A and B are shown apart, each in its own frame.
Chain A
């Protein structure tokens, strides 16, 4: 079974609108971390946001927020007020346990923001 599932291969959104990118995960470890990375067309991997399994509140970083629903094992990324520069591939990833930095990645969602 896949540990990280991103069911949306591609998403379209208009500029200034909000968009949600879905991510579900599968782990039996009570200690884990969830990450979102952005990959623009230039190819680099840009860290966006992190949510720890024990964090009480949903993580937020500027226009990015993580809708963390632990019981449903989902960690959706919400981008508010989309900008043209948000067009990129987005990856959800999970680290299981601590002191062991390996991330397991989903297959990614391509987001296109139109004017």
Chain B
């Protein structure tokens, strides 16, 4: 089944404790992206990657890191999480050049930073 898999689904952590949210897709998509969703703000892009070893900042990159060493994986790293990074995070992937370039989303990761 074609899917984007994020882990974990829920995560509670404390300020300053490094964490990684994993994302993997099995559709051979070149494009991958991370979004955060906050009430009243919709989804905002954190980082995106057009292909292996190619990453770029989105609208809200501060406090986050990403890497794209393999085509299927695109982990999101919070080196020193802070309470304002409490949010619902989505990983998404797509194949640029297709008619719709539709984004396929993972199930989301609800992160709470205490």
Binding site for B on A (CB under 8 A): 4, 33, 35, 37, 43-45, 47, 50, 52, 91, 93, 95, 98-108
Contacts and interface: CB of A to CB of B under 8 A. Distances in A.
B101 A43 contact: no
B45 A44 contact: no
On chain B, which size bracket covers the interface?
Answer: 20 to 34
B40 A107 contact: yes
Interface of B: 31, 33, 35, 40-45, 48, 50, 58, 88, 90, 92, 94-97, 99-105, 107-108, 110
Contacts, number: 64
Contacts of B97: 98-99
Given A35-B102, A100-B50, A105-B44, 6 more contacts: A33-B101, A91-B43, A100-B96, A101-B33, A103-B45, A105-B42
Contact of A43 (B88, B95, B104): B88
A38 to B, nearest CB: 11
A21 to B, nearest CB: 14
A102 B96 CA distance: 10
Contact of A33 (B42, B43, B100, B108): B100
13 contacts: A43-B107, A43-B110, A44-B108, A47-B102, A50-B102, A95-B101, A101-B33, A101-B103, A102-B58, A105-B42, A105-B43, A107-B40, A108-B42
Closest 3 CB pairs of A and B: A101-B94, A45-B105, A105-B43
A44 B107 contact: yes
Contacts of B41: 107
B33 A102 contact: yes
B96 A50 contact: no
Contact of B90 (A45, A95, A108): A45
Given A33-B100, A50-B100, A102-B58, A44 B105 contact: yes
Nearest to A104: B45
B72 to A, nearest CB: 16
